[in-house]
Every structure is written in C-alpha cells, then in structure tokens.
A and B are shown apart, each in its own frame.
Chain A
Amino acid sequence: MMRAEAGDLQHSIAPDMRDTDLAPEVLDRQLERVWGTPATLWGILATVDHKRIGRRYVATAFIFLAMGGVLALLMRLQLAGPERRLIGPDRYNQIFTMHGANMMFLFAVPVMEAIAVYLVPLMVGTRNIAFPRLNAFSYWIYLAGGVLLWVAFALDMGPDIGWFAYVPLSGPQYGSGKRADIWAQMITFTEIAALAVAVELVVTVLKQRAPGMSLDRVPLFVWAMLVTSFCVIMAMPAIMVASTSLILDRLVGTHFYNPAEGGDVLLWQHLFWFFGHPEVYIIFLPAVGMISGILPTFARRPIFGYLPLVLALIATGILAFGLWVHHMFATGLPRLGESFFTASSMAIAIPNGVQIFCWLATLALGRPVLAAPLLFVLAFFFTFIIGGLSGVMVASVPLDTQVHDTYFVVAHFHYVLIGGAVFPLMGAIYYWFPKLTGRMMSERVGRVVCGLVFVGFNLTFFPMHILGLQGMPRRIYTYQPDMPWGGLNLFVSLSSCLLAAGFLIFFIDIMRCMRWGLPAGDNPWNAATLEWATTSPPRSYNFARIPVVSSANPLWDEPELLVSSGLRVERRELVISTVAAAVPEARDASPANSIWPFFAAIATTGMLISSIFTPWAVVWGSLPVMVTLIGWFWPKSTPEDQA
C-alpha cells in the first residue's frame, strides 16, 4: 500500500524537487504524502512520527499513573483502621513494591521523556526526532516492560521487595520464586527505553535546531531535557549493572551480594543510589523546564534571568553527580564522606534558589494571567517549599535516625515527587493539550481539579509527617488498635479519596475535551516558542517550511516568522545545524516508517523474558534480535538513502 503510493510519487514528482517555488497547498499535500502515516494496522505499528509515539508514550504513562493510584488507594483502604483484613501481608508487600516501582519506572521518568519526545522536535523547529526508529523501538520496549510487571502482579508473581529491592531480601536466599527477577528485568526494559530516548533527545537538541537557534535561544524546557538526558545517560547504566548482577546472582550462582563468598550487600545500595540520587533530578529537572516554559506565557513577559536559569539547570545536573562522587569515596572514609554529602546538599540549594528567584521575578515583573496552567505552577511553589523544609529536616543526621523508615519519609518524598513533578506535569498538560489535540481543556474544570488535587494532596500527606514522628513505620500492612495512629490514618485515607477524585475529574476532562473541547487554533495562549508556530495538532511534517530564528522568543519578537527554503519534497528531509550557533550544514534524510523496530522489540522482549528462566536464552534469543536489527538497518533504496 505504501509501496504503491511511493511508486505513484516517483511518476508525478521529479526527483530532487524542491519546496522553493511550490504553492502552500501543493507543498502541504506533497509533504503529507512523504511524511504521513497511513491509517492502517501497518501504519500504527510502523510509524516513526515522534508526535504519534510521544502521544502513545504519554497516554501509557498516565495509564500507569492511574493503576499505581489504584494501588495507593488499596493501601489507604487497608490502613484506614487498625487490624483491617482487606489485604494480607504478602499481597501488601507486593502492592507497595508495585506502587513504588510502577510510579518511578513506569510513570515518572517515562512521562517526562514522553512529553519531550512530543515537544522537543517542535520546539527546536525540526520535522522529526533524531533516530525516529529507535524512538518507536523504545516505546514498544517500555510497553513490554510495563506489561511484564503488571501481568506478573496479576499472576501473584509481583515483586515484593520494595521499589529499591535491597539484597539480601531480593537475593537468591530470601527472594524465592521469580518475583525479584520480574523486578530486575522490568528495570532492564525501562532503562533500555529511557537510554534510547535520552540519546535521541541529545542529538535532536544538539544537531537539529532550526537555523539561527543558537544555544542562547534554546527554549528552557529543551535545555532542561538536554541536561536530563545527560543525567539519564550517566545514571541509568548503574541500575542496569545492579539489576543484571542481581539476576546473575539469582540465576547462575554468582556471588556479588553474598558476603560468605566475598560479595557485599552494601554494594547493592551503592549501585542503586548511584542511580537513585540522580533519578530524583531526572524527574525534577523536566518539571523545572515545564515551569520555565509555562511562566513567561502567563506572566506575559520573557522569562527573567534566562542565562542564570540555564546555568542553574546545568549546575543541578552536575551536582547530582557530585553526590555520586561522594558515594564512591565515602565507602572508606565515612566521616569525610558525610561532610561531602552535607556540602553538596547545601550546594544544590544554590541553583534551586536561583531558579525560584527568577521565577518569582518573572511573575512580579509581568502581568500574570491566572489560567489553569499557572495555578498548577503556584501549587508547585507552595508544596515544594514544604517538601524542601522536610528535606532539610531529614538531611540533619539526628532527625534522620529518628524518622528513618517511618511515614515521615513517605510524606517527604511524596511532597517532592508529587509537589515537585506531578503538579508541574499537570500544568504542562493543561498548557500543551491544545497543541496535541487542537482543542482546549476546560478552564473551569481545571480550577476545580487544581483545587481538589492541591487540597487533597496536602490533607493526605501532611499528616503522614506527624504519623512518622509518632513512630509509625512505613511498609507495614496493619497496626494494633492500641497504637495512637488510628485517627490520623482514617483522616489520611479519607483525604486520599479527595485527591483521587481530583485525578479522576482530570482524566475525565481530558477524554471529554479531546472530543468536545473548544477549537484551539495555532497559538491559543499567545506564547513565544516555535511549537506554537504550526497548526494544532501539527501535521506529520511539523513545519511546511523550517523556521529561521533570531530571538529566544521568536513569536513575540519577530513580527513575521522567517522561514527557509530549498529542501527536497520527495524524501523526508530535515536540516542539520552546528552545535553552538545552529548554522545549517546539511539537509539530511530522516528515516521513513518501518515495521522492523516493532519486530526488534518483540525479539528483544522474548530474549529478556526467557532469560529470567534460563541463561541460554541470551544466546539463542539474540539470533532473532540480530535478524530484526539487520532488517532494520539494511538500506532500502529509498530516496532517503541517497547522499
């Protein structure tokens, strides 16, 4: 079907036809032919359009959020009163592990990357993400990892070892059955997916920016994703090493974590937090970028302190690694290590302070319009300050030993994760939804959602601080009636229903507005960055002509957006530009749709899942992977292969 179309094209369109003199309608039609995805099953499985894949990624991540939320509600139902019998201890162990692992690995990190997969190419003014087939592969692998985890849970094989799977509990001695292996292999899936997207984003940002978009004109969300992607590239290998060595211990009898044979359980914690600490920033930095993207639009002025904000992003990224260095050297020198730790925790407060200052200045100097996206940003400010305060508290050693492994910690990290990342994320959905769908979300419902979520969230999690101070440990499936925790727990559980109601309305509103929302137009918020310079939703090729940029706020500063010309229209062509100044240096081809990434993902999934059961799967399982990769990369004599 595609092939027939391609054949027709070659008759009607001369090779090397350029866009320069084409009338707009002709150009649109021709570009749609070359870049479009047919509405067939093949099209669905083979598309490499970053917008389709990004949408899928976002939707899947939100489904995982909802499922993780249901687990949270189950836990709250169980804990609402003492000695309730809804969930037994074994199921409870699985549920909090599933909730944590699902939220961290299947929701928080992927959703941020997903939004970037959709937005970054539009924001830098290009037609597709770099390595679009890898992008398709990444989505399928991510999906497979999520399905693996949840199917295992449904089969009563869900991991029950906590989201950080400490050995020896997860090791061969205590973690019997396949539960720990499911956790470890789910890690492999999600990290492959995350690493692939990170490389795509780095290359897209460095090499595919529109002519003239020098580094000092790159939107802050794009900067944030660039730094995040580097953090992913440096941090994720640690957890791959950790989970792989755990599987080896469990499957082929290595002794990495077996003290009796020279192994070490602390090694696990080192490797895990080597990744785990930057992980917080991998979730938080994109949220920071979203805020810097949303604020100027609603403050009606350019962001205050662009350069300090960029430097703050980079500094945060680097300091996230500074803490690793501490972890490495601290092994032998705990005292010195502790002061390093404290010093870098302090140091990270500097870029955070700079950011908050620049944001507040932007609001103060502008004429803020209190639309829904901005409300979520304000909810973030408030919540994040409390999270930061309790963070300072846990960072002080005496208090930490007091509240360690209590609900104080549960409260603290939900303040950071939900306040710091989920609120900005919801603001981002309200903000960019019109671009994705061509329709507006309801402003009125948005206010209700923001209010419910904000109030529900604080009523749910603030009392957990107190429960923690009263000594309630985390990860318990029930407690005795003579403990003084019953009242507050009931309150927390009731409040969590309020929070859940907020999320439910949010989801319903999304569904409703996809169909019936008011038409948005290209630039409903009158924003400044390039994603608003094209239709909503954008056509398959994003921009009929690649924009030329001469400012950081092109749609505000340039009365009429300049564009470039001279690209070929009978193949997928985009502009490659230099890293710093974004001077065009080539018009290269972008790979066309292909079914091979899907097949490669199936083959990889088969290999990874089988290898939970037998190490030999790595040997015979890699053959199909190899075949599909050859199919993927073998040139197909398309115009895209010309050079």
Chain B
Amino acid sequence: MTSILQKPRMAFDLSELPLHGKRSASLTWWGTLGFMLIEGSGFALVLAVYLYLASIATEWPLGAPPPDLLPGTIVTAVLLLSLIPNMLVSRWARQEDLRKVRIGMIVMALLGIAPLVPRAFEFSALNVLWDSNAYGSITWTLLGLHTTHLITDLIDTLVLSALMFTRHGRNPRRFGDVQDNAMYWNFVVLTWLPIYASLYGIPRL
C-alpha cells in the first residue's frame, strides 16, 4: 500500500521535541509581548498628549492646584513593593512548584487589590474634574487608563489563581501562564512610573 515512491522523504524527526515551549518558545509569551507593545504605544501617546497640552497652556496645571502627593505615592510604593513577590512567583512557576505558586498567586491577587484602594482616593486628589478643563481631561484619562490596566490584570490574576487550585493547575502550560501574568504585571508597574512622574512632577515644575 505504501510503496517507497509514494512515501514522502522524511528529513526531520520532531518526535523528541517537548509538547509545549517555554518562555520564548511559547506563543503566548510572544503574544503577551505583542500586546504590551500595543498598550505601551497607547500609554506613550496619551503621555504625549499630556505634554502637548501642557506645552500650549499658559499655566499648568490649568486653574487647579497641583495634585496631592499622598495617595499616588502610596500607590507607587505598593506597586514597587509588589514587584518582589511578583518576581518570586515567576521563579516558583519556572521551578513548577505548585504549592508555592498557589501561595504566591494569592499574595499577588491581594497586591492587585491593594493599590486600588489608594487609587480610589487618587482621583479626588487630582484636585480637578475631568470636565473642568483640558488639564482635568488628560489627567483623568491617564489615571483612568492605568486603572483599567490594574483592574484587568487583577481579574486575570484572580482567574488564574482559581485555576491553580483546580486539577488544571499542575500543567506546564499553567506555569507558563503564571510567568506571563507576572511579566504583564511588571509592565503595568513600570508603565506607571513615567505616568506618576508626569502627573505629579510636571505640575510642580
């Protein structure tokens, strides 16, 4: 039935390859990178709009005192602190240590909720409303955009944490997801720093 002629020439044996690639051999890792690039461009553009509006304004901030530092600084501190457990979870996931990953994910879920509390106060600490003037519009948009990222990553972390406690948890794919989630959290924290610097620094220049 299968004469030699019919049979294509097999030049490459793939059978020993792993069933799932890790990090840069995994598609989700690249996909996460792609979406970070998109969102990074978005953040950069909104920041550019901020600078643009500031550059054409006669005074900045427009008709408002500079934002109060306290809530935003607490958010920044919490976010920076969260990087440490975040790094640890990522490492545990790399070592495929399910027990530690479970604990770590709960910690990260809590650390995802924590900054939302001072963030709620941060909006009123801006001392301006979105519909007061263009300064209010851009500050609320910047803060809102970043808050959206905090919330979406929190939901992602919560769902993934729940998943780690099911029978689906013990799977190299899930450990990869945890690492990608950690990478994305780093992104959310790092993009905050220029936003923080602009929102609070530029009005004080």
Which residues of A are at the interface with B, using a C-beta cutoff of 8 A? 18, 20, 23-24, 130-131, 195, 198-199, 202-203, 206-208, 211-212, 233-234, 236-238, 240-241, 245, 248-249, 252-256, 258, 261-264, 267, 270-271, 274, 328, 331-332, 545-546, 548, 560-567, 575-576, 579, 584-589, 626, 630, 633-635, 637, 641-643
Q: Which of B123-141 contact A (CB under 8 A)?
A: 130-138, 140-141
Tell whether, in the assembled complex, residue A635 and residue B163 are in contact, meaning their CB atoms are under 8 Å apart.
Answer: yes
A211 to B159, CA, bound (A): 36
> Closest Cβ of chain B: how far from A623's Cβ, in Å?
11
Interface residues of B (CB under 8 A from A): 1-2, 6-21, 24-27, 30-31, 34-35, 37-39, 41-42, 45-46, 48-49, 52-53, 55-57, 62, 130-138, 140-141, 155, 159, 163, 168, 171-174, 176
Q: How far is the CB of A609 from chain B (nearest CB, A)?
A: 19
Give Cα A264 to B51, complex, Å: 13
Measured between beta carbons, the chain B residues less than 8 angstroms from A564 are 10-14
Is A255 a contact partner of B9 (Cβ separation < 8 A)? no
Known A-B contacts A267-B49, A586-B21; A545 and B8 likewise in contact (beta carbons under 8 Å): yes
> What B residues does A643 contact at CB under 8 A?
18-20, 171-173, 176
**Which residue in chain A gives the minimum CB-CB distance to B62?**
A262
Q: In the docked arrangement, what's the CA distance between A211 and B34, Å?
A: 23
In the complex, the answer to whether A202 meets B2 with C-beta atoms within 8 Å is no
- Whether the Cβ atoms of B15 and A18 lie closer than 8 Å is yes
Give Cα distance in the complex from A274 to B48, angstroms: 12
Please, which residues of chain A bring their CB within 8 A of the CB of B136?
254-255
Q: Check if A588 sits within 8 Å of B27, measured CB to CB.
A: yes
| Contact A237 to B21, CB < 8 A, known contacts A245-B141, A562-B9, A563-B10 | no
8 A-B Cβ contacts within 8 A?
A: A248-B137, A256-B134, A263-B137, A271-B49, A563-B9, A584-B14, A586-B18, A643-B171
Q: Is the CB of A641 within 8 A of B17?
A: no
Q: Which residues of chain B are near A252, meaning CB under 8 Å?
A: 130-131
CB pair A237–B42 under 8 Å, yes or no, is: yes
Which residues of A sit under 8 angstroms from B11, Cβ to Cβ?
548, 562-564
Q: Is A585 touching B21 in the complex (CB atoms < 8 A)?
A: yes
- Give the distance in Å from the alpha carbon of A460 to the alpha carbon of B16 in the complex: 61
A502 to B171, CA, bound (A): 57
**A133 to nearest B CB, angstroms?**
11
Determine if A563 and B8 form an interchain contact, defined as CB atoms under 8 angstroms apart.
yes
Q: Is there an interface contact between B131 and A255, defined as CB atoms closer than 8 Å?
A: yes
Complex CA gap A236/B25 in Å reads 27
Write out the residue numbers on chain B whose beta carbons fall within 8 Å of the beta carbon of A211: 12, 14
Chain B residue nearest to A202 (CB atoms) is B34
In the assembled complex, the Cα of A341 lies from the Cα of B36 at a distance in Å of 30
Cross-chain contact of B19 among A331, A545, A588 (Cβ < 8 A): A588
| Given A199-B31, A331-B55: A253 and B15 interface contact (C-beta under 8 Å) | no
Who on chain A is nearest to B17 by CB? A587
Question: What residues of A have a CB within 8 angstroms of the CB of B133 in the complex?
Answer: 255, 261-263
| Chain B residues whose C-beta falls within 8 Å of the C-beta of A130 in the assembled complex | 27, 30-31
CB <8 Å contact, A576 and B27: yes
CA distance in complex: A142, B1 (Å): 48
Verify B53–A584 contact, CB threshold 8 A: no
Q: How far is the CB of A168 from chain B (nearest CB, A)?
A: 14
- Chain B residue nearest in CB terms to A257: B134
B48–A328 CB distance below 8 A: yes
- Which chain A residues lie closer than 8 Å to B137 at the CB level? 245, 248-249, 254-256, 263
Q: How far is it, in angstroms, between the C-alpha of A637 and the C-alpha of B173 when the chains are bound?
A: 12
6 nearest CB pairs, A to B: A566-B15, A643-B20, A586-B21, A262-B134, A254-B137, A562-B11
B195 CB, nearest partner CB in chain A, Å? 14
Closest Cβ–Cβ distance, residue B84 to chain A (whole Å): 27
Which of B1, B15, B46, B138 has the most C-beta atoms of chain A within 10 angstroms of its own C-beta? Answer: B15
Given A256-B138, A563-B8, A643-B19, A233-B38 contact (CB < 8 Å):
yes
Q: Residue A545 contacts which of B10, B48, B176 (CB distance < 8 angstroms)?
A: B10
Q: How far is the CA of A258 from the CA of B130 in the complex (A)?
A: 13
* B19 lies within 8 A of A642 (CB): yes
| Chain B contacts for A256, CB-based, 8 A | 49, 53, 134, 137-138
CA–CA, A356 and B53, complex, Å:
43
B50 to chain A, nearest CB (A): 11
Task: Using A24-B7, A254-B130 as known contacts, list a sample of 10 further A-B pairs with CB atoms less than 8 Å apart, ordered by residue number in A.
Answer: A130-B27, A202-B30, A206-B30, A208-B27, A249-B137, A264-B56, A332-B55, A546-B14, A562-B10, A588-B26
Known: A237-B45, A262-B135, A263-B53. A566 touches B19 (CB 8 A): no
- Provide the bound-state CA to CA distance between A258 and B136, in Å: 12
Known: A237-B41, A564-B12. Is A588-B20 also a contact (CB below 8 A)? yes
- Smallest Cβ-Cβ distance to A275: which chain B residue: B45
Picked from A212, A586, A634, the residue with its CB within 8 Å of the CB of B17 is: A586
CB of A248 within 8 A of CB of B141, answer: yes
CB-contact partner of B12 in A203, A233, A241, A584, under 8 A: A584
